[in-house]
Amino acid sequence: MSFADLGLSDELLRAVTEAGYDTPTPIQAQAIPPVLMMKDIIGIAQTGTGKTASFVLPMIDILAHGRSRARMPRSLILEPTRELAAQVAENFEKYGKYHKLSMALLIGGVSMGDQVKALEKGVDVLIATPGRLMDLFERGNIMLNGCNLLVIDEADRMLDMGFIPDIENICTKLPANRQTLLFSATMPPPIKKLADRFLSNPKSIEVARPATASTNITQWLVPVDSRKKRDTLRDLLEAEDVQTAIIFCNRKTTVRELNKSLQRQGFKSGEIHGDIDQSTRLAELDRFKTGAVNILVASDVAARGLDIKGVSHVFNFDAPWHPDDYVHRIGRTGRAGAKGVAFTFVTAEDAEAIDNIQKLIGTKINRVESAPASAPPVADEGEDDGRRRDRPSRNRKPDKARREEPKAEAAPKPAPRPERSRPPEPRRQHRREEADDGPDEGWNGPTPDFLSFGFNTPAD
User: Same fold for the domain at 3-206 and the one at 217-398?
Assistant: yes
Band of the pLDDT at 325, cuts 50, 70, 90? confident
* Predicted pLDDT of residue 335: 77
SS3 label, residue 453: coil
pLDDT score, position 420: 42
According to DSSP H, which parts of 251-350 are helical? Answer: 252-264, 278-290, 323-330
How many Cβ atoms are within 10 Å of 125's Cβ, its own excluded?
Answer: 25
- From residue 194, alpha-carbon distances to 78, 169, 180, 325, 413 in Å are 14, 11, 12, 21, 65
Q: Kindly state the average pLDDT of the residues 119-138.
A: 94
Instruction: Choose among 302, 273, 308: nearest CA to 289.
Output: 308
Q: Are 170 and 144 in contact (CB under 8 A)?
A: yes
Residue 304 has a pLDDT of 61
Least confident of 354-358, 359-363, 448-452: 448-452
Spell out the long-range contacts of 164-169 with Cβ–Cβ below 8 A and sequence spacing 24 or more. 164/190, 164/194, 166/130, 166/131, 166/134, 167/78, 167/130, 167/194, 168/194, 168/197, 168/198, 169/134
pLDDT given for residue 337 in this prediction: 73
Q: What is the pLDDT of residues 232-261, one digit of tens each?
A: 999 999 988 898 999 999 998 999 999 999
- The CA distance from 16 to 37, in Å, is 20
Q: How many C-beta atoms lie closer than 10 Å to residue 255's C-beta?
A: 28
Question: Residue 14's pLDDT is what?
Answer: 95
pLDDT score of 449? 53
Q: Are strands 269-272 and 41-44 parallel, antiparallel or unpaired?
A: unpaired
Q: Answer yes or no: is pLDDT of 418 > 90.
A: no
- For the cut 60, the answer to whether the pLDDT of residue 1 exceeds it is yes
Mean pLDDT of 1-14: 93
Which residue would you say has higher pLDDT here, 252 or 376?
252
| 75-78: strand order across its sheet | 103-106, 125-128, 75-78, 149-152, 179-184, 41-44, 203-206
What type of residue sits at position 448?
P
Return d(Cα 109, Cα 367) in angstroms, integer: 41
pLDDT tens column, 150-201: 999 989 889 878 899 999 999 999 999 999 999 987 788 999 999 999 999 9
Q: Which whole number is the average pLDDT over 429-436?
A: 40
Q: Name the helix (H) or strand (E) containing 270.
A: strand 269-272
Of the candidates 391, 385, 381, 311, the one whose C-alpha atom is nearest the C-alpha of residue 346 is 381
More confident residue, 446 or 76: 76
CB contact set of 258 (below 8 Å; sequence gap of 6+): 230, 233, 247, 249, 297, 317
Pairing between strand 179-184 and 149-152? Answer: parallel
pLDDT tops 60 at residue 100: yes
pLDDT digits (tens, 9 = 90+) for 9-34: 999 999 999 988 889 989 999 999 99
pLDDT of residue 447: 46
Q: What is the pLDDT of residue 31?
A: 96
Question: What pLDDT is stored for residue 393 in this prediction?
Answer: 39
From residue 75, give the alpha-carbon distance in Å to each of 86, 114, 128, 168, 275. Answer: 16, 19, 11, 17, 30
Nearest to 365 by CA among 218, 208, 216, 232: 218
349/439: higher pLDDT: 349
Q: Detail the DSSP E strand segments found in 110-248.
A: 125-128, 149-152, 179-184, 203-206, 217-223, 245-248
- Just give the CATH number of 217-398: 3.40.50.300
Domain spans of the chain, in order of start: 3-206, 217-398
Is pLDDT at 327 greater than 50 in this prediction?
yes
Coil, strand, or helix at residue 377? Answer: coil
Q: How far is CA 253 from the centre of its chain?
A: 17
SS (H, E, C) 414-440: CCHHHHHCCCHHHHHHHHHHHHHCCEC
Chain centroid offset of residue 216 CA: 19
What are the residues facing 179 on neighbouring strands? 149
Helices (H) and strands (E) in the chain, counts: 18, 13
| Domain 3-206: CATH superfamily, name plus number | P-loop containing nucleotide triphosphate hydrolases (3.40.50.300)
Distance of CA 23 to the CA centre of its chain: 26
pLDDT of residue 387: 36
pLDDT given at position 417: 46
The model's pLDDT over 286-307, given as tens digits with 9 standing for 90+, comes to 899 899 999 999 988 765 656 7
Between 34-43, 87-96, 251-260, 436-445, the lowest mean confidence (pLDDT) is in 436-445
Lowest average pLDDT, out of 129-133, 173-177, 212-216, goes to 212-216
